Amino acid sequence: MEIFALEVLRTFATKSVHGEAWPKDVYAVSQYVTDGNIFYFTARNLSSTIHAEDGVLNHLEHLLTSGKLQSQKIKLFLTYSPCHRCSQRILNFIDMARWHHNTILEVEVVFSAFYRVRRPSCERNPACRAASHFPSFDYHRVNVEGLRTLHRAQGIVLRTFNPRDWVDLQVALGVHMFDFGGRQEEDDLLRNDFQQIMGLTSTIPTPILSLVLSEMQTVVRTLLERWRPLQDGGQHFSNGNTS
Ligand SMILES: [Zn+2]
Ligand SMILES: [Zn+2]
């Protein structure tokens, strides 16, 4: 199957969340070193059971077993966060390199959209709730579990796209001057959602959090006011100690 670089780049840059259909075209781009040069290999999904990650991992495993994979650092650009099975497959690849080929790999996985995950920003958005484009809780749970396992694993960096990744992806695909306009906002949202899903930040919505904080301030102020007379009275205990 022929893969067109510009089409790949467009798919990566498309904001494929908030009510749009689930992915039809999914791409994975791998970056590694072989024969002293940086190489890129791109794959797309072939069916609902053969994912884009399968394509790049088959390729990398072949290089590894034939002794042609020289880099210990590998970067995977994914249009969607890996599903539970693909998360496991990435981990198996690292294990295989370690136990069968004596190679400690570092794999950086960056993605530009979520695959079948209920995004916190969507859950908070009434328009999203009305559109009911959420994946089922079962899909959500199993995919998040896969992402968390991957995120915690040694030798893996799992994260969302940043501005540098967009530049690197253009280089990988040999496309110049691609307009990524409007991605910044989506990337910020994606990063926040990812951090919340991974349990790295609070999942309490900001308005509730500030309400709780202002309530706490009132309680603390009241306590301080009540405590002040005690404090004044307390002084003479210390005075009393010296006499
Ligand atoms: Zn949404
Ligand atoms: Zn998958």
Q: Please tell me the number of the ligand nearest to residue 83's CA.
A: 2
132: CA distance to ligand 1 center in Å? 8
Q: Please tell me the number of the ligand nearest to residue 139's CA.
A: 2
84: CA distance to ligand 2 center in Å? 7
Q: Please tell me the number of the ligand nearest to residue 81's CA.
A: 2
Give pLDDT, residue 136. Answer: 87
d(CA 41, CA 173): 9
Whole-model pTM: value is 0.80
Give pLDDT, residue 5. Answer: 93
Would the pLDDT of 242 be above 60?
no
Q: Please tell me the number of the ligand nearest to residue 125's CA.
A: 1
Mean pLDDT of 21-40: 86
221: CA distance to ligand 2 center in Å? 53
210: CA distance to ligand 2 center in Å? 39
List the chain domain ranges.
1-198
Q: Please tell me the number of the ligand nearest to residue 128's CA.
A: 1
Give pLDDT, residue 202. Answer: 55
pLDDT tens digit sequence for 62-96: 999 999 998 889 999 999 999 999 999 999 999 99
* Beta-carbon neighbours within 5 Å of ion ligand 1: 18, 122, 128
231: CA distance to ligand 2 center in Å? 63
28: CA distance to ligand 2 center in Å? 11
pLDDT tens digit sequence for 184-218: 999 999 999 999 999 977 555 555 555 556 666 76
Which token pair is 115?
Answer: 């695959």
SS3 of residue 25 by DSSP:
coil
Predicted confidence band of residue 171 (pLDDT cuts 50, 70, 90): very high
Q: Please tell me the number of the ligand nearest to residue 133's CA.
A: 1
Give pLDDT, residue 19. Answer: 42
Give pLDDT, residue 24. Answer: 81
116: CA distance to ligand 2 center in Å? 11
Give pLDDT, residue 36. Answer: 80
- 1-198: what fold? Cytidine Deaminase; domain 2 (3.40.140)
17: CA distance to ligand 1 center in Å? 6
Tell me how many degrees the CA angle 82-85-90 measures, rounded to the nearest 5. Answer: 65
Tell me how many degrees the CA angle 118-124-128 measures, rounded to the nearest 5. Answer: 70
Query: At a CB cut-off of 8 Å and minimum separation 6, what does 85 contact?
Result: 51, 146
135: CA distance to ligand 1 center in Å? 11
